[in-house]
Structure 1
Amino acid sequence: MHDRVIDATGGTPDAPGPSCPACGSGAPAEPAAPLLRVSLPSVEDLGTLAEARAAIDGLDAALAVLLEHRAAVAALVQRLKPVGGFAGRDPGREREIVDAMAEHAPSLGRDRLAAIMNAVIEAGLDAAGR
């Protein structure tokens, strides 16, 4: 488990935020005001069942917010696709997503992350279709 803080800008307190893809320069993007700040507790600091469950509850709340926001952005991607609407998933892009995530979560591994992201993508597409 990581002992760090993640905020909505994609950075950590000691790391820069995401680069600006629109600039093409790799220069850091102007960070938006953080919408969510989540402390990632160290497993070693959790000594009781109640503490561990409270940590899970906090992480789950953050995941819910992130998943909802991801679904909204993914719905926009579907509308912006040149083929229009929900004309299809992009397996290459999905592999890129999973590969990038696997670098951040090596203990989960690529196969587990692929299954998780498949469910996330399908749920997001389903939610956007309503």
Structure 2
Amino acid sequence: MHDQVIDATGASGPSCPACGTPEGAAASRAPLLRVPLPVADDLATVAQARAAIDGLDAALAVLLERRAAVAALVQRLKPVGGFAGRNPGREREIVDAMAEHAPSLGRDHLTKIMNAVIEAGLDAADR
């Protein structure tokens, strides 16, 4: 396993051990999320694999919560928000960008995943 910091542009790289910021990156007011990214070949037992999944799930929960908060802001800023304001073109752009970072998942799987994320975010914004 190794730590990697993913910046706002989606670029990834090693992080500075002293401060946790990506090497060469300017300091940000937003907190960084440091997540060990397991390599499946390095996991030898079910317990190790489940521990790796638990760590990824915890980070994913934080990211999903942050994404939902930002998406709720977008809904308030748009002339027509909520489900009626969905933009299929923008959603395709999101999936296309994600497919570049996760090609092994494939565009079809990412479309399903992001549809669920977007719909859950819209539901959360309505609360």
Q: TM-score range by the shorter chain?
A: 0.7 to 0.9
TM-score under structure 1 length normalisation = 0.78
User: Structure 1 regions of 5+ residues with no counterpart?
Assistant: 18-27
Which whole-Å CA distance do the structure 2 matches of 1:34 and 1:7 have between them? 12
- 2:19 matched residue in structure 1: none
Moved over 4 A (4+): 7-11
Residues 56-75 of structure 1: pairs in structure 2 closer than 5 A: 56-75=53-72
Which whole-Å CA distance do the structure 2 matches of 1:71 and 1:92 have between them? 19
How many percent of aligned residue pairs carry the same amino acid?
Answer: 71
Contact kept? 1:8, 1:36, Cα under 8 Å: no
Contact kept? 1:4, 1:12, Cα under 8 Å: no
Shift of 1:121: 0.2
Which whole-Å CA distance do the structure 1 matches of 2:66 and 2:40 have between them? 27
Residues 43-58 of structure 1: pairs in structure 2 closer than 5 A: 43-58=40-55
- 1:123 matched residue in structure 2: 120
- 2:38 matched residue in structure 1: 41
Which whole-Å CA distance do the structure 2 matches of 1:14 and 1:3 have between them? 9
TM-score under structure 2 length normalisation = 0.80
Which whole-Å CA distance do the structure 2 matches of 1:62 and 1:33 have between them? 15
Which whole-Å CA distance do the structure 2 matches of 1:125 and 1:101 have between them? 20
Candidates 90, 93, 106, aligned match of 2:103: 106
Which whole-Å CA distance do the structure 2 matches of 1:110 and 1:103 have between them? 9
User: Structure 2 regions of 5+ residues with no counterpart?
Assistant: 16-21
